[in-house]
Amino acid sequence: MTEAFSKPFFEDLEVGASLPIVELGPMDRFDYIPIALILRDTNPLHLDRVYAQERGLSDVVQQGPLNQAYLYRYFTSWLHDPWDLVATKMRFAANVFPDDVLQCGGEIVELSEAPGGGGLVSCAVWQRNQDGQIILKGEASGRMPGR
């Protein structure tokens, strides 16, 4: 699940332009074990299929912060330096399940030039599953250098 973006410069950007769409997956249920350990969250909803099915779900649910991490990685891979990230705002809309294939995308909504060159780019970003259902929706902004 790796992707390489061509890095744009601030002068190349236009409001309304789309970011490249990237596909990730299929999601792997065995990834939920290290994520549960990192989050110190052993909720069986993420790990025990029978428990999840008893609660009306089709399978275990991928942890929300992992969904976010994929969308963060998507957006920050587009920046020249991942730590040029300035701000994010994300809302959970639906669950991700094992074997789902995710798509991440976005659109430039605002550009503001910086005095020393380059500027700030703000984007609407989203993540959806193979059925087109929105998983995460939000905004992300970052610094983009000039040429």
**Residues contributing to the site for other proteins (CB under 8 A):** 1-2, 4, 31, 34-35, 37-40, 64-66, 68-70, 72-73, 76-77, 82-83, 85-92, 138
Tokens of 30: 């065995």
CB of 11 to other proteins, least distance (A): 22
The nearer residue to other proteins, 8 or 64, going by C-beta atoms, is 64
CB of 72 to other proteins, least distance (A): 4
Tell which residue, 142, 16, 1, has the closest CA to residue 79.
142
CB of 92 to other proteins, least distance (A): 6
The nearer residue to other proteins, 68 or 103, going by C-beta atoms, is 68
The nearer residue to other proteins, 9 or 92, going by C-beta atoms, is 92
Q: Are strands 85-92 and 102-113 parallel, antiparallel or unpaired?
A: unpaired
DSSP notation for 71-120: HHHHHHHHSSSGGGEEEEEEEE-S---TT--EEEEEEEEEEEE-TTS-EE
